[in-house]
Structure 1
């Protein structure tokens, strides 16, 4: 989840789907706290995803709703503003909501055989300032590349840890 559902959260959705593959037991979707109606991700973000070999076709932005969020096993946000929005809108989802880099940081210590979602709930800490991923909206191609790279690096830890893929990606 991010603000406009045009850059960071769709990047996480597309990277997750691509890295997990078709046989994954997980499904991935994205939404925004203040979603902008669009049928494509930002051009700079689409280009950055393409540089990783991640397709971004078939996108439609979605507004975050209580029902969408309640269906999620795990909610990953781009920055602390979205966490605050979720807690305000649906306080009961606090234990399932993490900044994407926070989740990666915590899951890097996941003991073998442990349930990753239960582990996250048990070790949840306060997000750190460096857990935020800056919004690349209208900031140019380098900002888009940086955001996509940071999301990809976090997902390289998260996806294998939750059993969404067999191993960390290469490249």
Structure 2
């Protein structure tokens, strides 16, 4: 597959593939997705190569400056991320958060809609997290370029054209705020499954998924 030009991408020595995770308050779901994706990429590629993918997060109604919700943070312990989550601080979805972004992943379709209401120019690269995972898992990724940054751009293109060919599904990661630990656990597990699929396609271990 040949990837079309991406005029929003930043050329030159700072070339990166930039991913933005979005939820409501930026204290549960999107920071969990951010931290998990970074960790999985480092584990698969090592620190130097994985640094070519910049992962961040924001909230459409962020609790700006707040730390991660303690119950969601606790659910990151099995992945060894609870301590790292302790330094996280929430930020608002704004022009600065979306600057140069190549892929936006909302916790559910409502967040995808909220992003597009505020930043319609991101239509070609905004998905729900689990939606994007379904689309790239269903697509034939064998012909995507091996370079990490080029592959990321091509993967976004492929997901966009695949969108109309894959049956709809429940792509929600329910908001765990106000619920018991089990709701935070369910959200984190759904996020992990989606992020694991995405990283597997973005950075396959041996030249392709299938």
Query: Is the pair's TM-score, using the shorter chain for normalization, greater than 0.5?
Result: yes
Paired position in structure 2 for 1:79: 108
The structure-2 alpha-carbon separation of the partners of 1:53 and 1:9, relative to structure 1 and needing over 3 Å to count, comes to same
| Structure 1 unmatched ranges of 5 or more | none
What does 1:1-171 correspond to in 2, within 5 Å? 1-21=22-42, 22=47, 23-24=49-50, 25-55=52-82, 56-111=85-140, 112-114=142-144, 115-125=154-164, 128=168, 130-163=170-203, 166=205
Higher-strand-fraction structure:
2
Contact conserved, 1:8 with 1:148, CA < 8 A, in 2?
yes
Cα displacement (A) at 1:120: 1.3
Residues of 2 paired with 1:157 and 1:103: CA distance?
Answer: 9
Matched residue SS, 1:124: helix
Cα displacement (A) at 1:118: 1.6
Aligned positions, number: 166
* TM-score computed with the length of structure 2 as normaliser: 0.73
| Structure 2 unmatched ranges of 5 or more | 1-21, 145-153
Say which is worse superposed, 106-115 or 143-152, in terms of deviation: 106-115
Rg comparison, structure with higher value: 2
Contact conserved, 1:102 with 1:127, CA < 8 A, in 2?
no
Provide the alpha-carbon RMSD of the alignment: 1.9
Say which is worse superposed, 26-35 or 106-115, in terms of deviation: 106-115
The structure-2 alpha-carbon separation of the partners of 1:103 and 1:127, relative to structure 1 and needing over 3 Å to count, comes to farther
1:80-137 per-position Cα deviation (integer Å, ceiling 9, x unaligned): 2211111111111111001000001001023212231220122224994510110011
